Amino acid sequence: MDRKRRSRRELYTKEICACSIFGAMNREGDRFTGEGVMKAIASMRVRGNGLGGGFAAYGIYPDHRDLYAFHLMFTGPTDPARRAAKQELEAFLARKFDVYFDEEIPTDDSVFVRDPPLLWRYFVLPRKEGEDAEMTEEEYIVREIMAVNSKIENAYVFSSGKNMGCFKGVAYPEEIGEYFMLDRLYRGHTWTVHGRFPTNTQAWWGGAHPFGLLDTTVVHNGEVSSYGTNRWYLEMYGYACTLQTDTEVIAYAADLLMRRQKLPIEIVAKILAPPIWAAIDRMDEKEKRLMTALRMTYGPLLMNGPFAVIIGETGRMIGLTDRIRLRPLTAATRGEIFYISSEEASIRLISPHLDRVWTPRGGEPVIAEMKGYEKGSEESYEKGSEKSYERIC
Amino acid sequence: MRSFVFPEFEIIRDEERCGSCRGCERQCALGTHAYDPVADRLVSDDRKCAGCQRCVIFCPQKAIVVRPSPSFYRPNASWSREKIEDLKRQAETGGVLLTGCGSDKPFRIYWDHILLNASQVTNPSIDPLREPMELRTFLGRKPEMLEISREGKEVEIKTELYPNLTVETPILFSAMSFGAISYNAFKSLATAACRSGTYFNTGEGGLPREMRGEFGRCAIVQVASGRFGIDAEYLNVAQAVEIKVGQGAKPGIGGHLPGEKVSAAVAETRMIPQGTDAISPAPHHDIYSIEDLSTLITALKEATNYEKPISVKIAAVHNFAAIASGIVRAGADIIAIDGLRGGTGAAPKAIRDNVGIPTELAISSLDRRLREEGIRNRSSIIAAGGFRSSSDVIKAIALGADAVYIGSAALIAMGCTLCQKCYTGNCNWGICTQNPRLSGRLNVEIASQRLSNLISAWSHEIREMLGGMGINALESLRGNRDHLRGVGLYEWELDVLGIKGAGE
Amino acid sequence: MAFYVDITRCIGCRSCEVACERVHGGRGHVQVHFVEDSASVPLFCHHCEEASCAAACFSGALFKEDTRTAFDVEKCTGCGLCSLACPFGVVWTDKIAHKCDLCDGRPEPTCVATCPADALSTDLDHLSRRARSRGARAAAQGGRR
Amino acid sequence: MIRVDPRLCIGCLSCSNVCPSQNILRTETAEERRIRWKRCREECDLCVELCPTEALTLVPIDESAPEPEVSFPLAGCRICGRRYAPEPMLRRVEAALPKSQTSEWVWDCPACRRRAEAERTTAETVAARRRRRV
């Protein structure tokens, strides 16, 4: 069936999966290798089945901190098909971006992974011309990434932030870590990891998590039953959902709400996982009005069904579960290190003595921020501290 | 002139059981049954029977059976009995054939070809008896985004919100005017709507003055081409105003309430002389284009101080999605679409059975159109026409409707048996009549109880189905075609509905 | 239309009662009343001009139609108000009111057609003519009128 | 079921007559007339529609409500003393009579009215026959 017809019937296939997630951040901004997180995620091997794993690492490209790092994946049945996709992509990039530097992403070929695609990274700056000059850089990049992912066959941008990168593929996450040599080549201040258990066997590299747009990445354990609704709402705002995963819509929703609409994270959490009406009806007038307005306006972005996510940003890491808390999430601190994980045991494995361990309540975000983190209007945050927000008004 | 038409029904009375109580005689306003005092038995005239089954239900001895008459013309695939009899009736009367209720023609009912999803393993289903399950819905324009300012922990919404209707369950009562239906039926709808946290629509007959105080808070008032019963108070006492452009049962034509049904109370409410025909013209004579509609929408918003959402009701016809998109751009906060099987109190049979498109396809294409244009959140969609059960409702919502209007279903809850004789004004069930003797049969307290029971039953079923899908808020199902699959549908139908085939 | 009775001719045979009952399914509207043993009189509905039965009827089953007091059996509920309102006690109720309908649909009330003594008539002139001729005959025989 | 306003009911038995389900029971003794509405589940409304005084209302079934019952002592005939009708019915008839008529005869039973009428109309004949006999 041709593509046009598919889109008309919206014959999207959504992949269903369960997963392990893990995140670690050094709130002082000190960088560390991926070795620890690889060990932690490996301990949750039973939560995955080897059909997907991935990492998002922040602070790994200090030499190119001002350039957008695009990680590209060229899939396709044969090598020539991948090369052709690469050529098409590079022609596209040449039209829209200034490419400062590009290279193949180094991999350790002694690690066995199934059917690896051609992986390449480009360090670019947007070249906005004509009417596009009015757009912000971020808008421009999002639009062009959407164009690549939906129009250029076999080419997928799977990482596009500054001074950060996603690494993912079809294998157990610790194998992916070894394949990309994360324990040797990269040092980051924030790491999020994902081990995947899809129920279908046709796993593909693009479908692995984390999913990222600009510097926002999402690792996600769950199944969003509201996928269709979320998707149509996001499509109205120009997001092309091409990767067929729940995680993608969460990432786009986070992008829409946090980056484009500049809503603070507690508000975004209340949009993705709002309190129930019975609770809202008991709130005081002002809070009730706010919650009602949020649910009224952003009803289609309510993420329904079980999920636990870790949203990563430069300098910030957010953990969130669905509103009736159907998937596990544990947070912990040890000194300046902040952990979020599916299981407490995995944190204890790499850091046996913790200062504090707790289980956040359903729908209430846990937020870790780096010292000196400033973004948008959120200066009022208490710097470098973790909070579990009971109420936000 | 002698009628050459067979009686439609055959009345069979079990003489052994019949106790000559004459209940049937008193129940039938059409004079079908008569008591013969000499023989001390009841006799029936099949010709007068409309098949409303009132006598059958109320016969204490269960002695009566009314069934379709077995008489037949020579079987003919082209000339069905209905076609032959319609033709004969026209030969006898020389007039337009009128009928009531929604179309009964065997057009494909897509609801019956759509299946719902349920959770297994990867996604836990939710038990609605133990977990909250939310059906609350807002109808009206939503902002593109909320702008929020923060001062420490103080959060303020800077975006101005548009007025919205809040319904506790996505089921509203469709427009049925006082005049078309009896006062008691009208009041039953109003009472049930208020009790169930939903809304009733006044239709084009105005809102009787004494009902305004109590029932204004759950009323949607209609402004239609006849402009009956409209004053400033009427507009302001309600929670929303609906401009009726078209009706699913009779797209493109107006309405006609015969003078016999214009009783003193109807006359006062509609602001017309008693006993005169109330004729709603086919078009609004001040709307000849989309910009005229825009003017009327603005005028109504002015009249209601921008505090009420304005709805526009159109019939689903061939190119309606484009028109609806224009209507949204003209400022409508709610689009009500009435599909092919929408009901009516009186409509020419030829129009009812031949004009329009099915609601299911209409919802899907309207939702898609508004999404493609990026204006879906500027307007809510209320779908109407042929909703028979909670599963129809939930499928409509998954296809993209925000809520549904039920008309026939509500009438059936009150006792209607869809005998299609609404236009005669002799409704034995006291619903579609202004005869005080007949309308008195409909007890407001009992009928409203039946209606709120219906709403509560459907809401419970919707909660069950939602829970099965692992969804605990209705807004997460809206437009979520992922949860629908078609069976027995052609490729083009799946395309229009935007759903996959079962197993795909 | 009303009944006129020539009491002097009534022979108390009760044929009118029987005829009426036959026509009205066993529930007659005429009662022949005997005063001592010297006179008999059939009691009929008078179709009063100001019918108190119609005034008392709430359901509209009894109503004045031209000169007669008509009865619509469809509307009757058998409440019995009419029988209490009849000054002559000729309307009675037994689940339904029973009242003279002048044998609606027949050319002549059955009781009139039946009376063997020709005591009944619906035509006042008939009676008065007869009374006049009786007077004339008596006068011719030299007797008192 | 049916709710009865005992202040309005006149005991005419219309409801009982029209009830197809025989749910309105009547008991009549020489002294009084008693009517009982069974807790009926029908919503046929006929008794409500056909009550001359609008004393009845159809209300949703309530198992705990008592079955309504009213009783009327029968008024006695002025002449023969036989008790023949509930007093409220007679009052209603009296009120309904055309103003031009006298109304005290209402308090006579129909049998006495017939006798009176018969005696009145035959008075002359009877007198004449008596004379002849004498």
Q: Please give the average pLDDT of every successive group of 10 residues along chain A, which has 393 residues.
A: 46 69 91 91 88 90 89 88 90 90 89 86 88 85 88 89 90 91 91 84 76 87 87 88 78 89 88 91 92 93 90 90 89 92 92 91 88 51 39 32
- Write the CB contacts of B471 (distance below 8 Å, at least 6 apart in sequence): A225, A226, A304, A305, B126, B477
B26 touches chain D (CB under 8 A): yes
Local confidence band at B46 (pLDDT 50, 70, 90 cut-offs) = very high
CB contacts of D75 in chain C (<8 Å) are none
Which candidate in A232, A268, A302, A324 is best for mutational testing of the B interface (most B CBs within 10 A)? A232
* Token couple for B375: 């204006």
Radius of gyration of chain D (CA): 20
Question: Mind listing the domains of chain D with CATH numbers?
Answer: 2-107 (3.30.70)
Test mutation, C44, C53, C79, C145, chain D, max D CBs within 10 A = C79
Closest Cα in chain A to B491: A9
* Chain D residues near residue B21 by CB distance under 8 angstroms: 19-22
> Measured between alpha carbons, how far is B158 from B492 in angstroms, rounded to an integer?
45
Task: Give the pLDDT score at B83.
Answer: 94
Q: Å from D45 to nearest chain B CA?
A: 6
Closest CA to B171 of B384, B366, B425: B384
Among residues A300, A301, A280, the alpha carbon closest in space to that of A290 is found at A280
Q: Answer whether C84 sits within 8 Å of D126, measured CB to CB.
A: no
Only one residue has tokens 């022949």, namely: C32
Residues in chain B with CB shorter than 8 Å from the CB of D58 are 443, 445-446
Yes or no: say if B139 and B382 are a contact pair by the CB < 8 Å rule.
Answer: yes
pLDDT of amino acid C143: 60
Q: Is D93 on the interface with C (CB under 8 A)?
A: yes
> Which residues sit opposite B12 in a β-bridge?
B65
Search chain B and give the residue with CA nearest A389.
B153
Cis-peptide, bond into residue A306, ω within 30° of zero: no
Q: For A20, phi and psi rounded to 5 degrees?
A: -110, 145
pLDDT at residue C57, rounded to an integer: 92
pLDDT at B117 over 90: yes
Q: Tell the residue number behind the tokens 């008794």, with chain if given.
A: D47
pLDDT mean across residues, chain B: 93
Q: Which residue of B has its CA nearest to A392?
A: B153
Among the partner-chain residues D19, D45, D60, the one whose CB lies closest to the CB of B449 is D60
Domains of chain A (ranges; CATH) run 20-392 (3.60.20.10)
CA triple A313-A315-A319, angle to 5 deg: 55
The pLDDT assigned to A66 comes to: 87
Map C5-60 to HEC letters: ECHHHCCCCCHHHHHHHHHCCCCCCCEEEEECCCEEEEECCCCCCCCHHHHHCCCC
* Better pLDDT: B467 or A391: B467
pLDDT score for A392:
33
Q: What is the pTM of this model?
A: 0.86
Tell me the torsion sign for CA atoms A39, A40, A46, A50: negative
Amino acid at residue number A375: K
At D124 the pLDDT is: 79
Across the interface, whether the CB atoms of B142 and A304 are under 8 A apart is answered no
Q: What is the mean pLDDT of residues B401-412?
A: 96
Average pLDDT over all residues of chain C: 85
Residues 275-304 of B with CB under 8 A from A: none
Distances in Å between the Cα of A265 and the Cα atoms of A61, A213, B157, B314, C93 are 26, 17, 15, 41, 85
More confident residue, B11 or B20: B11
Q: What residues have CB less than 8 Å from C70, skipping those under 6 apart? A: C62, C63, C64, C101
Residues of chain B with Cβ-Cβ distance to D18 below 8 Å are 22-23, 26
The residues near A80 (Cβ < 8 Å, ≥ 6 apart) are: none
Using the predicted structure, report yes or no on whether residue B222 has a pLDDT greater than 50: yes
Residue B453 pLDDT exceeds 70:
yes
| Cβ contacts of D130 on chain C, cutoff 8 Å | 38
Instruction: With a cut of 50, list the residues of chain C below it in pLDDT.
Output: 145
What would the pLDDT profile of B175-206 be if each residue is shown by its tens digit?
999 999 999 999 999 999 999 999 999 999 89
Q: Does D106 touch chain C (CB under 8 A)?
A: yes
Q: Could you write out the DSSP letters of every residue in A357-372?
A: EE-PPTT--EEEE-TT
Q: What is the pLDDT of residue A381?
A: 35
Q: Which residues from B are below 8 Å from D48, CB to CB?
A: 440
Residues from chain C contacting residue B34 (CB–CB below 8 Å): 74
pLDDT of residue A132: 80
Asked whether the beta carbons of residue B22 and residue D45 sit closer than 8 angstroms, the reply is no
pLDDT the model gives residue C106: 86
- The answer to whether residue D82 neighbours chain C at the CB level (below 8 Å) is no
Domains and CATH numbers, chain B: 9-95 (3.30.70.20), 160-501 (3.20.20.70)
DSSP symbol at A258: I
Give counts: helices (H), strands (E), chain D: 4, 6
**Sign of the alpha-carbon dihedral angle for A46, A47, A51, A55:** negative
pLDDT value for A363: 85
Residue A19 known to be catalytic: yes
Angle made by CA atoms D88, D89, D94, in degrees to the nearest 5: 95
Given this model, what pLDDT does residue C68 score?
86
- Can chain B be said to touch chain A, i.e. do they have 3 or more Cβ pairs within 8 angstroms? yes
Q: Residue D44 and residue B22: Cβ atoms within 8 Å? A: no
* Confidence at residue A13, expressed as pLDDT on a 0 to 100 scale: 63
pLDDT score, position B180:
92
Residues 165-224, chain B, touching C (beta carbon < 8 A): none
- pLDDT on residue A3: 42
What's the average model confidence in pLDDT over D18-31? 89
β B240-244/B310-315 pair status: parallel
Give the pLDDT confidence score for residue B388 in this predicted structure: 96
Mean pLDDT value across chain D:
89
Selecting from D17, D106, D121 the residue whose C-beta is nearest the C-beta of C41 gives D121
pLDDT of residue A6: 44
